Structure 1
Amino acid sequence: MIDLDLRYQTILLDAPAEGVLQLTLNRPDRYNAMTVTMFDELETAARAISVDRDVRVLVITGAGKAFCAGYDLDDAEELPSLSALGMLDRQEQAARALSAIRAVPVPVIAAINGPAAGGGMSLTLMADIRLGSPAAKFNAAFVRIGLSAGDLGTSWLLPRLIGPSVAAEIGFTGRVVGAEEAERLGLLNTLTADDDLLERTLAMARQICANSPGGIRMSKRALQANMEISSFAAALELENRGQALLTRCEDMTEALDAFKAKRTPIFSGR
């Protein structure tokens, strides 16, 4: 069970609805920029969420006017002084934190309330679903500070989401992608109104929670795993095992009975 009273320095945890956990990046004075402490806290929270069976959906958003401005430039000042292995340790720490968010076994929804730049954009890509307000904007800013767009999973996830050519253009130019363009490209699932981002996000979360917990978890596992395999046959094998496993769970029996009870005939020709 997640301890909502546990105090973090850079994030807040809240339960806005049954089965829904909200993780808020909480450095609004720094536009929720990432620090070493935030990476540690994201990884710790993600691992706790992963073993809490009461959590059915994770929502991630930012406090204040931004989602996340990327790596805090005050923290970045020390990077040139680190050894090559020291820098690799720092990079791997950040990658572990974001990977832990993506590995959460329940659906992750990013409610993007403002700018998501650099590592902040990478964090949005770890979500399964992204909703954004008109203030949402994205910036793969790595090349603008002398780094590679191949950072924190972006070079793998972004081309799969919006296509390799558009991903290359965004990565090479470092330009800002506004909310309307992001929705058109598929970077946002839904563009909300100014004042209903969290309301719309929670409505989607409740819709997910209405379904079988086991079915949702296995669906996420199949969707993620089958992005990484190289054959249709292997995808079918994974899907077959998942479906066979679910038929041995109580969730499936209960969900099927409930569906049958409220089903209306599609054809009425007899």
Structure 2
Amino acid sequence: MPHLELTYPRPDIAVLTLNRPEKLNALSYELVEDLHATLDGIRDNNECRVVVLTGAGRGFCSGLDLTDPNPNRAGEGTEFPRSGMRWQERIADLTAKIHRLRQPVIAAVNGPAYGGGMGIALACDIRLASESARFCTQFIKLGLGGCDIGVSYTLPRIVGAGPAFDLILTARAVDADEALRMGMVSRISADATVVDDALTIAETLCGYGKFGVESTKQVLWANLDASSLEAALHLENRSQILASTGGVMAEATEAFRHRRR
């Protein structure tokens, strides 16, 4: 059974499913490598415009597979701690790779998202939670630092510094309702429909201009770190003018005048 499944319900939408349901989709060496390779392929697929990321079975991702936390293959023949750093960087780069994708990524969190699973969900651009979803940073409970796989960057930017410090330091779990209240997710879906609801959002995005969607993702992430309002406006202005050169705006304006889609 493949550790990762990639399907295309339509050519411009990819559904990426973590497929280790017996382990709550824990991150093994094989799954991490499959994710890297598949994300690279999606990045180079110019027909694909949106990605939906979810987990098989009753969980999204339970984080690192603790039955093999330091696989020999991940260290490339080096001794510890060099080998550990190779593996740490390889896992952590998954969140950066999701972040760098041109395509928006929608996380359909269909159950527990713990540790690295939460980090991967936070790297996505939109997050939907099923009613049974749970989120927990987990790391500090394992005797590690609480900051891992990008959560010290993404979580404060999504929910604010105060709630982020609470969740990272205490490693307490939050359910879907609390995640919605604090803004960690934008919507809650029934367990049976969370992927379908994510696909509906994906279809909406595919109805917009190709460059407009790509550049919007890039501007949003870039301006989280903008040094000033002026810097943010400068990037927005450039993106708007570039987007207007593709003809989509003229088509949309003409459609608006004639009251058609």
Q: Pick from 52, 55, 63 the counterpart of residue 59 of structure 1.
A: 52
In the alignment, which residue of structure 1 is the partner of 2:106?
A: 109
Does the CA contact (< 8 Å) of 1:122 and 1:153 recur in 2? yes
* 1:88 corresponds to 2:85: yes
* 1:204 corresponds to 2:175: no
Q: Deviations for 1:188-212, whole angstroms, at most 9, x for unmatched residues?
A: 1101123221221111111111111
1:8-87 paired onto structure 2 within 5 Å: 9-76=2-69, 83-87=80-84
* 1:167 corresponds to 2:160: no
Deviation at 1:139, TM superposition (A): 0.8
- Give the TM-score normalised by the residue count of structure 1: 0.89
Q: Pick from 110, 134, 141 the counterpart of residue 131 of structure 2.
A: 134
Classify 1:211/1:78 alpha carbon distance in 2 versus 1 (closer, same or farther; 3 Å). Answer: closer
Q: Identity over the aligned pairs, expressed in percent?
A: 38
2:100 and 2:30 map into 1 onto residues whose CA distance is 20
Which amino acid in the other structure matches residue 149 of structure 1?
Answer: G
- Give the TM-score normalised by the residue count of structure 2: 0.92
* 1:187 corresponds to 2:184: yes
Deviation at 1:78, TM superposition (A): 5.7
2:221 and 2:202 map into 1 onto residues whose CA distance is 19
1:28 and 1:107 map into 2 onto residues whose CA distance is 25
1:257 and 1:225 map into 2 onto residues whose CA distance is 32
Over the residues paired in the alignment, what is the CA RMSD in angstroms? 1.9
Does the CA contact (< 8 Å) of 1:42 and 1:98 recur in 2? no
Classify 1:219/1:78 alpha carbon distance in 2 versus 1 (closer, same or farther; 3 Å). Answer: closer
Which amino acid in the other structure matches residue 84 of structure 2?
Answer: M
Pairs aligned (count): 256
Deviation at 1:261, TM superposition (A): 2.7
Deviation at 1:114, TM superposition (A): 0.4
| Structure 1: 5+ residue stretches without partners | 1-7, 265-270
1:246-257 paired onto structure 2 within 5 Å: 246-257=243-254
Q: Deviations for 1:93-131, whole angstroms, at most 9, x for unmatched residues?
A: 112222111211121100010000000000000111111
Does the CA contact (< 8 Å) of 1:40 and 1:97 recur in 2? no
Does the CA contact (< 8 Å) of 2:70 and 2:84 recur in 1? no
Q: Deviations for 1:5-31, whole angstroms, at most 9, x for unmatched residues?
A: xxx932100112352110000111111
In the alignment, which residue of structure 1 is the partner of 2:218?
A: 221
Classify 1:254/1:82 alpha carbon distance in 2 versus 1 (closer, same or farther; 3 Å). Answer: farther
| Structure 2: 5+ residue stretches without partners | 73-77
Q: Show structure 1 runs of 4+ deviating over 4 A.
A: none
Does the CA contact (< 8 Å) of 1:43 and 1:101 recur in 2? no
Deviation at 1:250, TM superposition (A): 3.2
Does the CA contact (< 8 Å) of 1:26 and 1:32 recur in 2? yes
Deviation at 1:229, TM superposition (A): 2.1
